Each structure stands twice: as structure tokens, then as C-alpha cells.
Amino acid sequence: MPAYLEKVQEVLTAADIKINGDRPWDMQVKNPHLYQRILAQGSLGLGESYMDGWWDAKALDQFFFKLMRLDLNELANIGTAFLVLRSKLFNLQNKKRSTRVAKEHYGLGNDFYEKMLDKRMLYTCAYWKNARDLDEAQEHKLELVCKKIQLQKHDRVLDLGCGWGSFAKYAAQEYGCHVTSVNISHEQMEYARESVRGLPVELKEMDYREVTGVYDKVVAIGLAEHVGYKNYGTLMKTVSRSLKDGGLFLLHAIGNNFSVTVSEPWFDKYIFPHGMLPSVSQLTKAAEKIFVLEDWHNFGADYDKTLMAWFENFDKNWPETRKNRPDLDERFYRMWKYYLLALAGGFRARGIQLWQAVFSKGGVIGGYESVR
């Protein structure tokens, strides 16, 4: 047996994955050059070879659940040294580079995301406690955020990231707040303008670092993943100067179990350019001498359910999407399937987390009461 094949088989066997086995999570190999490609290119090669149809698995989410329970250092990436060097030499999330994800990912079009997401168009983890479906779980998430920041009528709220305006609309409608939402995605902002029409919501198409004004509460839902390790401190300082004394800041973010200074190669190239998952230590270090950490809530297992619901919607609506979007071919379908199901498996394996952290400016007098 060639050494490269033996190496791959060793890793897969440890993960209880068989090559060309008959279980849903087993790897079905279509191209014998797959093994060299994986060993040479690591996770990038694994993802690209799937997109190219070199391998498959009936239950891709289960394949990644089993694989990600292992120490993936076994699959060495020859490009890692260059990636580390590049991350230290360049700020990949500076203002100019940060616009790339808005164009390439969110620029797929609002119609595309309407067929995948819930009715409110939330593209962050839902909160499934006592929820029967995705729509209900996402509404529970919005209510959870509002309760955690102790939202009151007439509060002035800064919403960093904005998405399609879902939080801003909910806070304005249900709590009577004035919300200022900031986003760099033109596609999302166009949608949000229609969604919040007639409500006390101000939309600003700008980078989070450019915000002005002082607010009672600040939320950043799904923004930290696009900030980058060089800018966690900048995010905290931006929020601090935007938040009144005694105010609350909620950070909702996907997180890593360990600190990284590079983007994951396949996701960086195909899904979230220059995206990076923060660790607990990176976020808390950035908040030192700026905020008091009042609460830390991990419900990462809920992202598995959220991603599986998104994939079900995407897969069900793919024939219609393909008909209306001839630019999105079968390779795109495999790329998007890989993205959603690989992440679902990762959250299921607890290799990545979803955190909601509540910070206060100066500390909550009398103490902060956690909400779940």
C-alpha cells in the first residue's frame, strides 16, 4: 500500500470512517488521486476535491462530525507556514479587504437567501430552546438578545452588522426602540430599507469602525467572525466609545476552542473571505480594561440544528434556484452543501462554538441577572 494511502486510511480509521464503506458517513472515493491531494493541500484539498466530485458521503454532516472529533493535525497542510506569515504581515480585515465578503458572499442576492433562511431573514444561529421550527427558534434568539441587554422603550441601540435588518425591525416593533444599524453589504441594506420602512430605524452603509454617537445598548450579532484577530481590540474600543456609562453590549459570535491567527483555507477561499473565528482568550483579552464581562452563554449545539434547517431549505429549493440562476451550477451546489453540512458536523462535534457574551461599561450596579 502506498504511504500516502496508508496515512489517510490511518486517520479515517481512527474516525470510524471506511473508504467505500456502506454506512452513511463512509467516504466514497471516485478518483484515486484524492489521497495525494488531501495530504498535499489539507483542508483546502479536501473541500475542492469534494466540489470536483472526487469523493462523496451520503451523510456529509455525519462524516464531518466523526472526522472533527479527531485531532486534525494528522492532516498536515503544506501551506500553513505561508498562511501564518501572511497573517502576521498583513491585516486581512482592514477596511478595504473587509468589503470582499460583502461582494462575494452576501452579494449572491437576497432571493437566494430568502429560499434558505427563516421568514425574518436571520443568518446567525437560532435559539432552539422550546422552539418547534426554524422561524420560532430565530424569534426566540431575537427575544433572548433583547432580554439580555435589558432593552427598554425609547432606548437608543447601535446594531453593528445589521444583516437584513432583522434585529433592528424586531427591537423597534416589539420594544419601541430607536435602532441605528451599520453594514457594508449593499445587497443586505437594500433589503433592510424595505423591511424597516416606517419604523424608528436608521440604516448606515459603512464600516463598523466609522460609527459615531453614543447609545444605551450595543449589539454585534455575527460581526466578530469577520473582524480578524488584529481588530478585536478595535471592535471593543469602538463599542466602548459608542456606549454610555453603565450600558450593555452583547456580542453574538461563532468561536474557536483555541486561538488562531489565520483563516481556514477552504472557507477563506470559497465562503467567507478573510473570515476568522475568535477564541475566548482573544475576546476577553481585547475587552480587558474596557468592559466588565457580565455573562457568557454557549449554545453552539443549536447551530447544528440551524445549519441542518438551512440545508434542508437550500436543498429543497435548489431546482428553482438553479432554474432562475444559470450562473449557479452543480459545482456551486456541492460547494454550498459542503459549507453547510461541514459546519453542522463541526458544531455537533463541539469543535466550534456559538457564544453570546454580555459586557457592561463600568459594571451593572447590584449585579447582572443572566437570561437563558
Q: Are residues 152 and 230 in the same domain?
A: yes
Task: Output the CA–CA distances (angstroms, integers) from residue 226 to 78, 94, 253, 337, in the order listed.
Answer: 25, 10, 10, 21
Distance, in Å, from the CA atom of 174 to the CA atom of 131, rounded to the nearest integer, reads 19
The answer to whether the CB of 186 falls within 8 A of the CB of 205 is: yes
Q: SS3 sequence, 63-93?
A: HHHHHCCCCHHHCCCCCHHHHHHHHHHCCCC
Got the DSSP string for 159-219? EES-TTSHHHHHHHHHH--EEEEEES-HHHHHHHHHHTTTSSEEEEES-GGG--S-EEEEE
* Tens place of pLDDT per residue across the chain (372 aa): 677 678 788 889 989 999 999 999 999 999 999 999 988 888 999 999 999 999 999 999 999 999 998 865 444 443 444 444 444 445 555 665 555 655 667 779 999 999 999 999 999 999 999 999 999 999 999 999 999 999 999 999 999 999 999 999 999 999 999 999 999 999 999 999 999 999 999 999 999 999 999 999 999 999 999 999 999 999 999 999 999 999 999 999 999 999 999 889 999 999 999 899 999 999 999 999 999 999 999 999 999 999 999 999 999 999 999 999 999 999 999 999 999 999 999 999 999 999 999 999 999 999 999 999
Closest alpha carbon to 340 in 120, 47, 20: 47
Closest alpha carbon to 161 in 213, 85, 102, 116: 102
Distance, in Å, from the CA atom of 25 to the CA atom of 22, rounded to the nearest integer, reads 8
Residue with the three cell numbers 454550498: 336
- State the pTM of this model: 0.92
Q: Are residues 314 and 179 in the same domain?
A: yes
Which grid cell is 5?
494511502
Number of domains observed in the structure of the chain: 2
Domain boundary at 78, 103, 125, which? 78
Q: Residue 163 domain-assigned?
A: yes
Distance, in Å, from the CA atom of 94 to the CA atom of 82, rounded to the nearest integer, reads 19
Distance, in Å, from the CA atom of 23 to the CA atom of 169, rounded to the nearest integer, reads 45
Beta bridge partners of 91: none
Which grid cell is 9?
486510511
Q: Are residues 98 and 240 in the same domain?
A: yes
In this prediction, residue 106 carries a pLDDT of: 75
Domain boundary at 33, 54, 78, which? 78
Q: Are residues 126 and 189 in the same domain?
A: yes
- Torsion sign (Cα): 117, 104, 186, 156: positive
In this prediction, residue 148 carries a pLDDT of: 98
In this prediction, residue 95 carries a pLDDT of: 60
323 sits in which H/E element:
helix 301-324
In this prediction, residue 7 carries a pLDDT of: 76
Q: Residue 368 domain-assigned?
A: no
The answer to whether the CB of 29 falls within 8 A of the CB of 9 is: no
In this prediction, residue 70 carries a pLDDT of: 83
Q: Residue 84 domain-assigned?
A: no
In this prediction, residue 321 carries a pLDDT of: 97
Angle at 291 between CA 128 and CA 179, to 5 degrees: 60
CA torsion, ordered 272, 273, 278, 282, to nearest 10 deg? -170
Q: Are residues 72 and 139 in the same domain?
A: no
In this prediction, residue 11 carries a pLDDT of: 84
Dihedrals phi, psi of 371, to nearest 5 degrees:
-120, 135
Closest alpha carbon to 274 in 253, 260, 257, 259: 260
Q: Residue 98 domain-assigned?
A: yes
Q: Are residues 33 and 127 in the same domain?
A: no
Length of the chain, please? 372
Radius of gyration of the chain (CA): 21
The answer to whether the CB of 38 falls within 8 A of the CB of 3 is: no
Q: Residue 365 domain-assigned?
A: no
Identify the burial level of 327 via C-beta atoms within 10 angstroms of its C-beta, where 0-12 means exposed, 13-18 middle and 19 or more buried: exposed
Q: Residue 105 domain-assigned?
A: yes
Q: Are residues 295 and 159 in the same domain?
A: yes
Closest alpha carbon to 123 in 269, 252, 22, 274: 252
Domain boundary at 78, 113, 139, which? 78
Q: Are residues 341 and 235 in the same domain?
A: yes
Kindly state the DSSP code that residue 58 receives in the 8-state scheme: S
Q: Are residues 136 and 168 in the same domain?
A: yes
In which domain, by residue range, is 240 found?
91-360
Q: Are residues 43 and 179 in the same domain?
A: no
Q: How many CA atoms lie within 13 A of 327 on its CB side?
A: 3
Distance, in Å, from the CA atom of 222 to the CA atom of 163, rounded to the nearest integer, reads 9
Q: Are residues 218 and 173 in the same domain?
A: yes
CATH at 184:
3.40.50.150
Q: Are residues 118 and 46 in the same domain?
A: no
